[in-house]
Amino acid sequence: MSKINVTVNGRPVAVDAGSTILDAANKAQVRIPTLCHIEGLEPTGSCRVCSVEVEGRKTLVPSCAEPATDGMKIRTNTPRVLLARKQMIQLMLANHPDDCLYCMRAGDCDLQQMAEDAGIRERAWRRGEHRSHPVDRSSPSVVRDPEKCILCGKCVRVCDEVQGVAAIDHAGRGFDSFVLPAFDDELASTTCVNCGQCVAICPTGALVERSDLSRVWRYLADDALVTVVQTAPAVRAALAHVYGMSGGDAEARMVTALREMGFAQVFDTQYAADLTIMEEGTELLHRIQEGGPLPLITSCSPGWIKFAEHFYPDSLENLSTCKSPQQMLGAMVKNYWAEQMDVPAENIRVVAVMPCTAKKFEAERPEMETEGGRDVDAVITTRELIRAFGEMSMDFEVLEPGEFDRFLGASSGAGAIFGATGGVAEAALRTVFYLLTGENPGPEDFEAVRGLEGVKEIELTLPDGAVVRGAVIHGLGNARRVMDRVASGETDYAFIEIMACPGGCVGGGGQPYGADLQRTAELAGELYEIDEKRVLRFSHENPEIQKAYEDYLESPLSDRSHALLHTQYRGRSQFSAEDEASE
């Protein structure tokens, strides 16, 4: 690719032809603030806070949308630029509710930070009439407060262009502009899949997760209850990033932190990931041997499940009947653990700490119940967990390392990598290979499914020489493209792993703000490192899983396994959350 030469604030830099001014500034290590810009998507140039001066041009130009040209001289910090930026932010603030003290984004808000950086210390215009719209609390996952929206459009574009859902869009004109679901319906009655990618990218408190932290504190304060917790692999990876330590160190300190919060037992969702592999790997072999239905498609991502219910109801028979690890662990606690420990199931509350807002929706699904009651009683995200540490004034870095409780706490490295795209397929193939040959493969034999390519393919040769093909997909936009080919019979995949969020659970909508592909790759790296350091690398070798089958479940796909660990789904309307069968 040909290069062009520009200067940014006097610093010479060479960039590829076609680069934007913002790209050139990044290369020159000059920071330009942005609000509506999304790396990797076409610019819209709607917020204008990234405007800069270009020698020879009369007007300021939005650096995220303006191509750099050879010889261009760019200035990002002239008094004219700073004044214009300040005015842009002041215009946004003119219509903002100003309830920052009570906002969930307080102290972690892009708009607040930008106003502070710009030196805004007073309201520029007298407060007059301002837009009003009720807060939408209908969704189990996402709270929408349109009055805090600055109309940057990032949520609309992520929902449509990345996730292929398009549950929200711009509506109204001028003063009455809002971002809304169609017909101003409540979010819960739309095709929203609860993935929370809109929440992760929103620069203000207009879209936040529904917080269940108060409910968790209430459980913990109730002496009549036995409140236990489980944590997903991607949570420890995010904590490692936030607190600047390895995934293994973060895991050990997280266990101690959860005990300090008051949980009676600290279990590992990775245990249930190993259990999922036993059930799903066996299910795959059965389907291959018994003629389908194939491809078998993974079912541990609740955002993907709801997407399939809305847009691919004819493919629901292809979904694995396995519940997700979150739900499996809850069902095991309320039945197996309750029986072993002689604790009445009705006194147990299971809290899950997840990187994912859709897990809140999943926990409330009517399908997720057994004789022991609801599998999971409350779900908090990684962000909510970090807020809980803040409420406790906890210094995470100085905590002593702790260990998960036994029975439901041991896990293999295969369980750890569940949190990254490709991890479920890789973990499953390790065990499927063993089930077919009686021998373990090399733990890294299937690492071709690692990495952030949107769609990856892999092959497994069976003992009879037959080749089984599979695909690994992350991001629902990518899932839509592949599922259209599956639906039209263009593929011969035997299995497909689909994760709703870009990068898999490590890129989930409940992870700390500021996600980008580089951070997602780093978090996946933490999980691969945890896997590498584990003595146990295979789900079928987890001694607690073996014991659960010996003492309680009997075998994968047994009647008891089916009753506790499996479920089924029904189609929904393409236009609303309605259950198709009930229309």
Between 84 and 368, CB nearer to ligand FES: 84
Contact mark string toward ligand FES, 90..129, x via CB under 6 A:
----------------------------------------
Cβ 162 to ligand FES shortest distance, Å: 17
Cβ 64 to ligand FES shortest distance, Å: 3
Are 430 and 440 a contacting pair, CB within 8 Å? yes
Between 15 and 425, CB nearer to ligand FES: 15
Which residue in the set 4, 13, 61, 64 belongs to the binding site for ligand FES (CB under 6 A)? Answer: 64
Rounded to the nearest 5 percent, the helix, strand and coil shares of the chain are 45, 15, 40
The answer to the question of residue 553 lying near ligand FES (CB under 6 A) is: no
Between 47 and 143, CB nearer to ligand FES: 47
Cβ 62 to ligand FES shortest distance, Å: 4
* Residue 115 CB partners (closer than 8 Å, separation 6+): 89, 93
Cβ 159 to ligand FES shortest distance, Å: 18
Between 25 and 165, CB nearer to ligand FES: 25
Between 152 and 545, CB nearer to ligand FES: 152
Q: How many residues bind ligand FES (CB under 6 A)?
A: 12
> Integer distance in angstroms from the first to the last C-alpha of the chain?
55
* Residue 399 CB partners (closer than 8 Å, separation 6+): 253, 256, 257, 260
Are 32 and 63 a contacting pair, CB within 8 Å? yes
The tokens of 251 are what?
Answer: 């895991």
The tokens of 180 are what?
Answer: 């809304």
**From CA 483, how far away is CA 23, in angstroms rounded?**
34
The tokens of 399 are what?
Answer: 């905590």
Cβ 21 to ligand FES shortest distance, Å: 10
Closest CA to 23 of 66, 70, 54: 66
Between 90 and 440, CB nearer to ligand FES: 90
Between 64 and 143, CB nearer to ligand FES: 64
Cβ 98 to ligand FES shortest distance, Å: 22
What part of residues 263-322 is at the interface with ligand FES (CB under 6 A)? none
Are 344 and 178 a contacting pair, CB within 8 Å? no
Classify residue 228 by its DSSP letter: E
What part of residues 321-360 is at the interface with ligand FES (CB under 6 A)? none
Phi, psi of 500 (to 5 degrees): -65, -35
As a whole number of angstroms, the longest Cα–Cα distance in the chain is 79
**From CA 371, how far away is CA 56, in angstroms rounded?**
74
Closest CA to 298 of 141, 422, 447, 197: 422
The answer to the question of residue 62 lying near ligand FES (CB under 6 A) is: yes
Residue 349, phi-psi category: left (phi > 0), alpha (psi -120 to 50), beta (remainder): beta
The tokens of 7 are what?
Answer: 């200067």
Where is 6: in which H helix or E strand?
strand 3-8
The answer to the question of residue 149 lying near ligand FES (CB under 6 A) is: no
Name the β-bridge partners of 514.
none
Secondary structure (H, E, C), 65-89? CCECCCCCEEECCCHHHHHHHHHHH
What part of residues 12-51 is at the interface with ligand FES (CB under 6 A)? 34-37, 45-50
Cβ 95 to ligand FES shortest distance, Å: 17
Are 297 and 494 a contacting pair, CB within 8 Å? no
Cβ 99 to ligand FES shortest distance, Å: 24
Cβ 111 to ligand FES shortest distance, Å: 12
Between 41 and 135, CB nearer to ligand FES: 41
Are 345 and 228 a contacting pair, CB within 8 Å? no
Integer angstrom CA distances of residue 180 from 254, 394, 540: 38, 38, 47
**From CA 503, how far away is CA 473, in angstroms rounded?**
9
Active-site residues, by number, are 280, 283, 300, 320, 359, 362, 367, 505
The tokens of 62 are what?
Answer: 């939005």
Between 64 and 496, CB nearer to ligand FES: 64
Residue 557, phi-psi category: left (phi > 0), alpha (psi -120 to 50), beta (remainder): left
Binding site for ligand FES (CB under 6 A): 34-37, 45-50, 62, 64
